[in-house]
Amino acid sequence: MKSIGIKVLLISISAFALGKVNAQMTFNAQYMNRAEVRHGFGNMSDTSQKAAAFISQRLRFGGVYSAEKFRINFSAQDVRTWGSVANAAIDTKGLFSIYEANVELLFNKKWSAKIGRQAISYDDDRIFGTLDWSMQGRRHDAAILKYQDSSWTVNTGFAYNTNADASKYYVYNVANNYQNFQFLWANKVYKKHNISFLFLNNGTVKGGTDSSIVYSQTFGLREEYKSDKFNFLTYGYYQMGELGTKFLNAYNICAEVGYKPVKGFLATLGGEILSGKSTKYTGNQNNAFNPLYGTNHKFNGYMDYFYVGNHINSVGLIDGYLRLSYTKNKFIYSLNGHYFNAAATVYDKTITTSNVAMNSNLGGEIDATLLYNFTDGVTIQGGYSQFFGTTTMKNLRGGSIASNSNWAYLMLIVRPGKIAFPKVGLKM
């Protein structure tokens, strides 16, 4: 028995050694830890509200098995808030999960297909993003056909979701998720220009007593220009089709220009409009744009007042912003300012007998950020944000304008390997 075991071991080692000629296994890992103090994060605080303080973390570990014609990619993650499980208790809260599990078939140097659980990110993450700032991130169960040459990249993919494997039809009822989608993304790099087109057909359950699937379409163009002194970015998306019982007619447009007067310093001035509907609109048309599966923390202020699990199907947003950043040695200093207005009319809900339109101003926000590159793959990041609310914002979402709404955090990011400093999940 002993000799048989040795033979099996030797055969296994030989097979692995021979397999290494055509295949390779690489491992990857990352760690993110963030301590936060929140007082009015996501919505204006009340005067009696006490600040919340907590520490959360994410650990991801995975690998890629690469062969001549395919790659298998996987990563698992543990996401937790410190102290959410007692120090001697069995962990039954489901904090461990699979983030990615997919295979990529390599047809030739230009064509491939990626199938399985995967992160989807395009352009600056406005419509499709990894949601990397959030500890759990965002991933999709999807299949994507990919083409890439020296200047063109084209991806087309689909997803189809069900509750579980079953022998009869069930209405899809997983909360906050789509039932299916199909998309096309095309990108062209031309000299200093980067131009993209995105089309997404998104299927969701109609809702209520109707279990049928309704479809909305989001499509648009994005162009980015970069030179030694100037940056320019513009994009526009339009939404149509059906969402629930309403017909969509919504848009999102943005334009910004950046200037580098001296080495290391960048000033960016821009504005973004996401259409909305008035607070008293009762028609069959929905004019509120939804960024869907983007990394919305990067946009419209870091305190997550807009489109981060909130402000959907609301009055929209007009965001005028100025971003200043300075890079020196291993440090990056950033200061962003936002001036927020509603894109549609906000009516005073404290007056029910008449239509009294309120001032469109929703408030302002200042975000200060400091990054330090401790070593290759290790970043220490901290920030402080302050939101200045208005009576209109209080009328729309509650809270108190007399209370101090702010947020502060300190963060450790360890990303060994390909992701270089300053990959931070912020738009700076």
Tell me the domain boundaries of the chain: 2-414
In contact, 144 and 116? CB cutoff 8 Å: no
pLDDT at 115: 98
pLDDT score, position 261: 96
Q: What is the mean pLDDT of residues 302-324?
A: 96
Cis peptide bond upstream of 416, omega within 30: no
Coil, strand or helix at 18: helix
The residue among 127, 157, 124 whose CA lies nearest residue 231 is 124
Q: What number of other Cβ atoms are within 10 A of residue 190's Cβ? A: 10
- C-alpha–C-alpha distance, residues 142 and 117, integer Å: 6
* Percent of the chain whose pLDDT exceeds 70: 93
SS3 assignment, position 5: helix
Sign (positive or negative) of CA dihedral 38, 310, 180, 343? negative
Q: Name the band, by pLDDT with cuts 50, 70 and 90, for residue 422.
A: low
Confidence bin at 9 (pLDDT 50/70/90)? very low
Average pLDDT, the chain: 92
pLDDT for 169 equals: 85
Q: Is 392 helix (H, G, I), strand (E, B) or coil?
A: helix
Q: What confidence score (pLDDT) does residue 424 get?
A: 64
- Quick one: which H or E segment has residue 6? helix 2-19
pLDDT attached to residue 303:
97
Write phi, then psi, for 365 (nearest 5 degrees): -145, 145
Binned at pLDDT 50, 70 and 90, residue 170 comes out as confident
AA letter at 107 = F
End-to-end CA separation in angstroms for the chain: 64
- In this predicted structure, what is the pLDDT of residue 352? 76
CATH architecture of 2-414: Beta Barrel (2.40)
Residue 17 CA to residue 96 CA, distance in Å, equals 33
Sign of CA dihedral 406, 304, 135, 45: positive
Task: Give residue-wise pLDDT tens across range 271-285.
Answer: 999 999 999 988 899
Evaluate whether 181 touches 200 at the Cβ level (below 8 Å): yes
pLDDT band at 208 (very low <50, low <70, confident <90, very high): confident
CB atoms < 10 A from the CB of 266, how many?
17
Tell whether the model's pLDDT for residue 17 goes beyond 70.
Answer: no
pLDDT of residue 135 exceeding 60: yes
pLDDT for residue 391 is more than 70: yes
Which residues neighbour 274 within 8 Å (Cβ) at sequence distance 6 or greater?
250, 251, 252, 288, 289, 291, 307, 316, 317, 319, 343
The pair of structure tokens assigned to 358 is 């309120």
Task: Provide the pLDDT for residue 428.
Answer: 65
